[in-house]
Structure 1
């Protein structure tokens, strides 16, 4: 079977595109590995209609049900190989199955580089955050710890001064920071601790602090994580000759979301923009509109 469009990635951008294409009554398949960043966020707070937040898992489930009602097929697998044939794209998954699509939408997103501190995961989106644009408001006037590495953590701490002055930066990986940033931390009176974290303290999935390598403790109920080096999941795009930036984000037309290769679109965090759920939704819808136009013209 050849689908009208195969969407690689079932996160927010991919789901929104699937819903729109389903409403156009196209035959669509979504291939998703199930481990995208939206699957682990416990609460998004900046969406219309959800002032108390909603989890990524809830949004994904609701989106999938909505898309399935429109006839969209979902396949849980990881796409590991892609190539272009004469009339369709061939996608091979890790379980050695193959799928074909006339059009391709890449919505594979970004993976955050998190430290090997598993106790942070249950708190993501509720008391541990990664995006100041999304969740800086959640730490307003609250004592907050920034766990990070080098310049990335220092930049995060400085950014958060818009919401709170009660900040501590712990450079967990002991990565050097440049002198200019160190001076700015001092000017903003942000304590800087260059020490690894031994243990993350949580209570009923609520972050409450950390124990450092020397055994000392820092207690805070809010935490931001900033380690830099997030992985942009654009390997499929590269296999197909799609243009990517130096940081591996896919280059797209800002209006259509079309990539440099005909019949391939990209949407969401895998493209270069502010990494926000609301923008990913818009990206998905916009890509779907132009995929539909393309399908009508063939």
Structure 2
């Protein structure tokens, strides 16, 4: 069977793209390995109608609604290889099966690469975050830390005082210039130059090299990101540099430089959250559908 569209990635962007195609009565296949980027978080915020819900519950309900459409199929596996064929594209999954489609949507997401700080990984998504809009409000105005791992830390440090008193831990990652120090001072940000030794096991409490402990309601970091899947590179999709890592370059219709290959969600935007991923997926699904008609 040749599907109208294969969507690789069954998280928020992929399901949203699939919903547009399913409602157009197109035959689609979603291939998903079950590795949502936000699977470490207890709750999701900023998405209309779902504010505060568990991210897994949002994804499960969305999948249930999508699978109610009779033209949708779902394969739980990892897509490991993609290649162009005469009438479209073929995807090979870990089990060895191969699937073909006229169009391909890459909703493969990214992986976060966290700073090497003892205790940090265990608190990722719980007390350690990267998005103030997703998690800042729930810190209830408590003390907030920003752990610098790159110059991007200045951006977070200047934003976060709207959510609580903020300390920027330079951690020998970079040195703010005079203009940046003046900006931080105007925002009331405390700058801590002493190196960070570790973070607490259950709370985001910072232990400095001297042994001094600074208690925090939450800690924000700037993880590097990398594409979760090699498919875009295998197909020859052009990438572009973002503030935290490369992402797939798309045009206004969410199509890559490879005809018939579209991309959406975190794999195709410089920064995102659930609401952005859902909207981006909806745009991409509609664009892929129209490409089946008008070319």
TM-score normalized with structure 1 length: 0.84
Map of 2:30 onto structure 1:
30
Q: For 1:288 and 1:73, how far apart are their aligned partners in 2?
A: 16
SS at match of 1:226: coil
SS at match of 2:241: coil
Map of 1:294 onto structure 2:
291
Map of 2:233 onto structure 1:
238
Give the CA deviation at 1:19.
2.1
Contact (CA 8 Å) 2:158, 2:189: kept in 1 or not? Answer: no
State the aligned residue count: 289
Do the aligned partners of residues 150 and 290 (structure 1) sit closer, same or farther apart at CA in structure 2, a change above 3 Å counting?
closer
Deviation track 1:207-261 (CA, whole Å, cap 9, x = no partner) reads 342334443322112222224x22244632222122221343222222x212222
Structure 1 residue 167 corresponds to structure 2 residue 177? no
Structure 1 residue 84 corresponds to structure 2 residue 84? yes
Map of 1:222 onto structure 2:
218
Map of 2:63 onto structure 1:
64
Q: How do residues 252-291 of structure 1 correspond to structure 2 at under 5 angstroms?
A: 252-254=250-252, 256-291=253-288
Stretch moving more, 98-107 or 26-35: 26-35
Map of 1:98 onto structure 2:
98
Contact (CA 8 Å) 2:139, 2:163: kept in 1 or not? Answer: yes
Give the CA deviation at 1:34.
1.9
Map of 1:179 onto structure 2:
177
Contact (CA 8 Å) 1:40, 1:121: kept in 2 or not? Answer: no
Q: For 1:88 and 1:150, how far apart are their aligned partners in 2?
A: 41
Q: For 1:176 and 1:57, how far apart are their aligned partners in 2?
A: 36
SS at match of 1:41: coil
SS at match of 1:220: coil
Give the CA deviation at 1:120.
4.9
Stretch moving more, 116-125 or 213-222: 116-125
Where do 5+ consecutive residues of structure 2 fail to align?
none
TM-score normalized with structure 2 length: 0.85
Contact (CA 8 Å) 2:149, 2:221: kept in 1 or not? Answer: no
Stretch moving more, 174-183 or 80-89: 174-183
Give the CA deviation at 1:48.
1.6
Do the aligned partners of residues 118 and 87 (structure 1) sit closer, same or farther apart at CA in structure 2, a change above 3 Å counting?
farther
Where do 5+ consecutive residues of structure 1 fail to align?
none
Contact (CA 8 Å) 1:44, 1:125: kept in 2 or not? Answer: no
